[in-house]
Structure 1
Amino acid sequence: MFLKLVQSITSIKVYTLLLNVDYIPLLKNLKLSEAVEFGLHMVISIGLAFVLNFYIIRKDFHKKAIRHFVIRVSLIVGLLLFPTTLLSERTPPITSAYAFLFWMAGHWIYGWVLGRVLSFKEGERV
C-alpha cells in the first residue's frame, strides 16, 4: 500500500514496478488487470515468507536476529528487482533516484513488518 500511495501522490511508477510482469516471458504478452498482477505479487510474497520462516526455524534465530535478517533479505530483493525497470516502458527510469529511494523504503517497510510477524512466538510480546 505504501508504494501505491507514493505513486498516487508523486506519479513515480513504483507501484507499477512492484506489480510489473513485463519481463516474464509467459506473462509479458498478456493484458493483466491490476488485481491479477497484485495476486501474482502476493503469491510470490507469501512464498518468500514461507521460505524465510522455514530457514529461520532451522537456524533458531532469536527475535532481533529474525527482524534484521528479514529486513536484509527484503532490501536485497529490492536491489535485485529494481533493474527490471529497464525491461518495461511502464516503470520508472533506472536513473530515477526518487524511484529507487521509494522502492527501497517500500522493501524496508515490508521487511520490518514481515520480520515482526515471523518473530512472533505465542505468549511473548512482539
Structure 2
Amino acid sequence: MKFLKGVWIGFWSGLILGLLFKWIQAVTGVNVYLLLLNVDFIPVIGKVEWSEMTEFLFHTAVSVVIGIVYVYFAKRRPYTFGQLTVLSLVLCSPTYVLYFLLSSLAITDQVPGLTDWEAITYWVFGHLAYSLLLPILYKTFERKNAASQ
C-alpha cells in the first residue's frame, strides 16, 4: 500500500509541476519546461531525439521515485502536517539548486542560462509548489483511505 501511495503521489505532483512549467514557459517565454525535460547531456539516452511525451515520462519517473521515498519516510511514524511539510521541503531541497547543474550540463543553448534570475525564480517557485504538493496529496490519500475502510 505504501508503494502504490508513493507512486500516485509522485505521479500527480510530477504531472502538476510539469504542467505548471509548461504553462509558465507558454506565458513568459522562459524555457523552464524545456530545462525540466532536457536530457541531452545524459550519456547514451541524450543522443536520442525523444518526443516531448517520452521526456515528460522521464520527468514523471523521477517524481514517482521521490513520491515513494517521501511516503516511506512519512509512514515511519505519525507526523503533523507541518512536520510532513518540513520533511518534503528537506527531501526536495536538491531540486531547488538542480537548476544550476541542469543549466550548466545542457548541450542545447535553448535552456535558460546560469544567471537567468527570472528562470531561477520560476524554477524555485515551481519546486517549492511541488514540495508542498507532497504533504497535501499524502494527507488527501490518507483521508480517502480512512473513509473507505
Q: TM-score, normalised by structure 1?
A: 0.87
Q: Aligned equivalents of 2:100 and 2:139: distance in 1?
A: 27
Moved more, 107-116 or 95-104: 107-116
Q: How many residues align?
A: 124
Question: Which amino acid counterpart does residue 95 of structure 1 have in structure 2?
Answer: T
2:99–2:123 CA contact under 8 A, matched in 1: no
Counterpart secondary structure, 1:119: helix
Tell whether the 8 Å contact from 1:86 to 1:94 is kept in structure 2 after alignment: yes
Question: Looking at both structures, which has the greater relative contact order when contacts are Cα pairs under 8 Å and sequence separation is at least 6?
Answer: 2
| Equivalent residue runs for 1:12-51 within 5 Å | 12-51=30-69
**Deviating more after overlay: 59-68 vs 5-14:** 59-68
2:116 maps to 1:96: yes
Residue 81 (structure 1) shift: 4.2
Q: Using the TM superposition, give the Cα deviation of residue 48 of structure 1 relative to its aligned residue in structure 2, in angstroms.
A: 0.8
Corresponding residue number in structure 2 for 1:52: 70
Structure 1 stretch displaced more, 60-69 or 73-82: 73-82
Q: Which of 82, 87, 91 matches 1:69?
A: 87
- Tell me how far 1:73 sits from its aligned partner: 2.6
Percent identical: 26
SS in 1 for 2:75: helix
Deviation of 1:56 (Å)? 1.6
Separation in 1, partners of 2:98, 2:127: 11
Distance 1:91 1:59 in 2: 41
**What's the secondary structure of 2:76's corresponding residue?**
helix
Which structure 2 segments of 5+ residues have no match?
Answer: 1-18
Q: Which has the higher helix share?
A: 2
Question: Aligned ranges for residues 106-125 of structure 1 at < 5 Å?
Answer: 106-120=126-140, 121-122=142-143, 123=146
Q: CA offset at residue 90 of structure 1?
A: 2.8
**Alignment partner, residue 84 of structure 1:** 102
State the Cα distance separating 1:64 from its structure 2 match. Answer: 1.5
**Whole-angstrom distance in 1 between the partners of 2:122 and 2:103:** 14
Determine helix, strand or coil for the equivalent of 1:2: helix
Give distance in 2, aligned partners of 1:82 and 1:109: 19
